[in-house]
Chains A and B, each alone.
Chain A
């Protein structure tokens, strides 16, 4: 297959292969923590941290890990970085940690991480794996921010806690409930698919 320039592997995570809207991975945290924009960005950055470090470490070790134990080894490495992220949040951002709740430990089983490792980091060099992980992580974070913003604005009238619409808008409570999460997710996916079709 044709060779792509290194920068493509970074950029593809934003649009062409957006983990949330195109690859449809990591839907559980996407639906659960995007009731507010700040939670979205917190989860996105925590996941990006775990994704980048796990991918880099595994890419470095890829020739040393036997195929038969790769799932176990990958999971231990991923879980270690997730625990580190969880400890960090509990220490320096306790409110965010409480708000994200059990979804921080659940980053261990976030499909984006194992997905990128299996599809890319375990078969490519460190630099490309780093770019791929960073791009996917940032793409994930940006999508969460968009979803969180929409849900928070429509569901609470605030944005990052700042009351933006409350003077004239009565918030639609459903947007911060699970129903609203599915609506927003589906609509965003539909819009992105439509834009891709128009482009091509």
Chain B
């Protein structure tokens, strides 16, 4: 009967191939700690690289085999962290959230533009191909390479031409930091709200010719901090004020005397 023959034939094929697979499975077996698979499944799976590893699988492997810290995933919420802790048998505390801070206030009103750039919509391309992108050699050209790099839709170019970061959506993964060709974006804890939003090392004369929001290195913020018995909070070098992030102790009063508004409070976020 052909039905019987077909059944036996198919069954035999299945049997033979499954035996092949058993042999192959034994021959090519790779010992994998099952905790790695469990952790990988618990992680968000976005592969954003915020933890510093290339992918969620790499991070999972590092946790189990190299003892990496469990709270390095910036996207994980407290529920996920608890799950990770459960798999590894430890308690996990979420580190303080860091967000991206765009260190430039040279928008279309403040900064000078020698011409109109009509080229590839990429900041690196604009900077390396011409000088028309912006007069300031240190500032943000607003073409959105950081926007393109963000996997969380957390950064957008405002109508004034400077990127704005959403505190809620930003996970501090650092992709925009890598994408900016002028290294203008830095990751800082949310609680740190005062920064010097400028990286220009040009002397004070630039105020009129390059950008009216630039830091001219006048040192008035340093004076205010010193008067408050906080001399190391801010330093000026190369015509640029730099905040001491190792020992962050800034108050709102320090920024009041700034002539250009370069050192400022809660800029470029929403």
Contacts and interface: CB of A to CB of B under 8 A. Distances in A.
A/B touching: CB–CB < 8 A? yes
Interface of A: 1, 68-69, 72, 76
Instruction: Report the 6 A-B pairs with minimum CB-CB distance, sorted nearest first.
Output: A68-B25, A69-B21, A69-B18, A72-B17, A68-B21, A72-B21
B77 to A, nearest CB: 10
B250 to A, nearest CB: 37
A1 B21 contact: no
Contacts of A69: 18, 21
Nearest to B153: A200
Interface in B177-206: none
B114 interface: no
Per DSSP, are chain B's interface residues mostly helix, strand or loop, or mixed? helix
Nearest to A1: B44
Contacts of B25: 68
Given A1-B44, A72-B21, A76-B14, 7 more contacts: A68-B21, A68-B25, A69-B18, A69-B21, A72-B14, A72-B17, A72-B18
A193 to B, nearest CB: 16
Interface of B: 14, 17-18, 21, 25, 44
Contacts of B18: 69, 72
A69 B44 CA distance: 27
Contacts of A1: 44
B106 to A, nearest CB: 29
A1 B21 CA distance: 35
Contacts of B44: 1
A147 B89 CA distance: 55
Nearest to A80: B10
Contacts of B17: 72
B126 to A, nearest CB: 23
B82 to A, nearest CB: 15
B83 to A, nearest CB: 12
Contacts of A72: 14, 17-18, 21
Contacts of B21: 68-69, 72
Nearest to A200: B153
10 contacts: A1-B44, A68-B21, A68-B25, A69-B18, A69-B21, A72-B14, A72-B17, A72-B18, A72-B21, A76-B14
A34 B21 CA distance: 39
Nearest to B10: A76
Contacts of A68: 21, 25
